[in-house]
Amino acid sequence: MFFSREQHNSRAHAARDAAGEFEEVYLRYIKPVYAFVSYRVIHRSTAEDITSQIFEKAWRGFDRYDTDQGALSTWIFTIARNCLTDHFRATARNAAETELGENDSPDYGVDPGKDFKALELRSELEQALAGLESNELEIVALKFGGSMNNREIGRLLEISESNVGTILYRSLKKMKSQLEGDQ
């Protein structure tokens, strides 16, 4: 199919506008989406890969996003949840992930004492998160990783805002108890 010069220019202009809009979306959501994913997977490199997949899918579907169907945050985090589901299915089929590799270890600086303490705290937090049910973990990840409020989480998960608050409260209480060694 051949396009006239006006049609070609119009399409090019629309593509630039979409790219500019998507860049704003990317810059707004990259940190909360990555943080959300990081709450759900152990390895930093895995979190980076999944986050990359999320934004690739969002870019491919950006022209189909409809503001009447829901908030942009709901759309982005729905894609994130779906990518995580795909990841966990593939991981379950292939094999369990290995322990932290050298590329996945956190870079906390040059002070070995601080490095050890940070790794110890991270390990304790991972154990506390691992003690949560999957729905509890998802809500904690959306709240603190995804920086979403209870209303947004409720819309995304299709539960009431007060139910989100209740689950969040109980989850944090459970984590606190585990971190303090009260189990």
Check which CATH number belongs to the domain holding 49 and give it: 1.10.1740.10
Mark out the alpha helices in 41-160 (DSSP H runs). 44-61, 72-94, 112-130, 134-140, 150-157
Q: Contact, 41 vs 50, CB < 8 A?
A: yes
Residue 90 is predicted with a pLDDT of: 87
- Is residue 108 predicted with pLDDT exceeding 80? no
Supply the pTM of this predicted model.
Answer: 0.68
Question: Are residues 69 and 9 located together in one domain of the fold?
Answer: yes
Check which CATH number belongs to the domain holding 125 and give it: 1.10.10.10
Question: Are residues 55 and 73 located together in one domain of the fold?
Answer: yes
- pLDDT digits over 8-65, tens only? 444 444 445 667 789 999 999 999 999 999 989 888 999 999 999 999 999 999 988 8
pLDDT interval class at 69 (50, 70, 90): confident
Residue 136 is predicted with a pLDDT of: 94
Q: Is 49 exposed, middle or buried (0-12, 13-18, 19+ CB in 10 A)?
A: middle
Residue 162 is predicted with a pLDDT of: 96
Which pairs from 117-123 meet CB under 8 Å and 24+ separation? none
- pLDDT digits over 129-168, tens only? 889 999 999 999 999 999 999 999 999 999 999 999 999 9
Residue 182 is predicted with a pLDDT of: 58
DSSP assigned state of 133: -
Boundary residue ending a domain (77, 102, 127): 102
DSSP assigned state of 142: I
Boundary residue ending a domain (50, 81, 102): 102
Print the domain residue range for 172: 106-183
pLDDT interval class at 124 (50, 70, 90): confident
* Average pLDDT, integer, range 166-174: 95
**CB crowding 9-32: b at 16 or more within 10 Å, else e:** eeeeeeeeeeeeebeebeeebeeb
Block residue for tokens 């809500």 = 139
Number of domains in the chain: 2
